Each structure stands twice: as C-alpha cells, then as structure tokens.
Amino acid sequence: MKRYEIKFAIPLVNKSIVEQAIISHPASFSTAYPDRIINNIYFDSPDLQSYYENINGDPIRTKVRYRWYGSKDQINSGHIELKRKEFQLGWKDYSNVPLGTSAFDHVRDLKDGGLPSSLRATLWNSYTRSYYLSMDEKFRITIDDDLCYGDYNSTPKSAKEEMIIVEIKFDEDQIMAFNKIAQFFPFKQTKYSKYATGVTRLLE
C-alpha cells in the first residue's frame, strides 16, 4: 500500500526532546519493536542517476538497495528493496535473493523500466532504528541514530551524521488525521534522503 513518510532531520543533541515528545503524545505512542541495526548497500548507475533524480526533486523515481539487519557480517541474510516514490507517496517492492546467488548479481539482473541502467554498488550506510506505534496502530514513528556512510567502490572513506532522522509513516487515507498528530511535534518537516546525503558527504 502507498504511504506517506514525513521526515524530520533533527540535531543529535535534541534526541531526548524528540523521545519525550513521542512518549507524551496524545496518540499514546509506545515502543513497537526492540531497537535494531539496519545496514544498506545502495545501487546506482555510474553517472549516479538515482542520486541526481533525488537532488533535482524528480517526482517519480525508484531507488534500489540491499538491506539486512544486525552486524555487518550478517550480509547474506538480507533482501533487495525497490523503494518507489510518486510525488508525496511511496511504497516498496521486495525481491529475495535466490539461494546461491549474490545480491550484486541479482540486482544486475533486475528487469524494471524505472531503474537506472548498469546498476552498481555505490554507497553503504548503517544506523540504529527505534520504533514507536500509536495506540490505534495507524501511525508509526521511527528514530534513526548513529547514522554513518561509507564509499563502497573506491578509496575507503566514511562520514558520520550528527543528526537523528525521525519519520512519521502512515497510509494515504490517514492524511487528514496526520494534521492532528503533527501539531504536537515541535519540529520542522524537512526533505531528507539518506542515500543522497551519504553520496553528497562522500563527494565533498
């Protein structure tokens, strides 16, 4: 199902304020899952088509990543995600990697008209995610902390983000209810892409 993902990039020093705003929210958010580490390898064309589609604000775009949970050495336990965006709405398609096939080979074999050509691994990132769910289970909030990036292809280079990324996620039919949810968050909504931010940091 298509959903909204409303993002807030907030200085790390304000993390406790964010957590207090969530816990005290009238929608009665509570912890949905234990925190866990998320790892991603992003794929793009040699000329970084997906990166520039995001930078230029293209309203319809698709991003490809391989995601797994836990430590870096658990890389073989993941799956491929095609993260699609159509104006303000987004959704994901999933593709499991066949047994005996590497994620890299499987991505190169993907057939999808919305994907850049000649996909290659471009960026690795990792972060710790906390999960909250409203009492009516219609709104989910995630907090991403300890966000770091690595250049996947060339000279070893890494960067760490001194921000936390807060996302409020909800189905497209809940947009009117979201306005009531948002009024209790003293934060400014921001446009933010972990992939675009990571590539920008490593290009600097």
Q: Which domains does the chain have, with CATH numbers?
A: 3-203 (3.20.100.30)
Pair of tokens at residue 129: 């995610």
Model confidence at 151, pLDDT cuts 50, 70, 90, reads confident
Q: Which of 63-77, 87-101, 124-138, 176-190 has the highest mean pLDDT?
A: 124-138
Model confidence at 6, pLDDT cuts 50, 70, 90, reads very high
Average pLDDT over residues 189-198: 94
- Lowest mean pLDDT across 11-15, 61-65, 113-117, 187-191: 113-117
What b-and-e string marks burial along 125-153, b requiring 16 or more CB atoms within 10 Å of the CB? bbbebbbbbbeeeebbbbbbbebebbbbe
pLDDT for 51: 96
pLDDT for 113: 65
pLDDT for 154: 62
| Sequence-distant (≥ 6) Cβ neighbours of residue 201 within 8 angstroms | 149, 159, 161
- Lowest mean pLDDT across 102-111, 146-155, 170-179, 191-200: 102-111
pLDDT in tens, 164-188: 999 999 999 999 999 999 999 989 9
pLDDT for 136: 97
Q: Which of 28-37, 101-110, 118-127 has the highest mean pLDDT?
A: 28-37
pLDDT in tens, 12-60: 999 999 999 999 999 999 999 999 999 999 999 999 999 999 999 999 9
Is the confidence at residue 100, as pLDDT, over 80? no
pLDDT for 160: 84
Torsions phi, psi of 174, nearest 5?
A: -105, 15
The pTM of the full predicted model, rounded to 2 decimals, is 0.91
pLDDT for 54: 96
For CA atoms 15, 8, 36, 102, the dihedral sign is negative
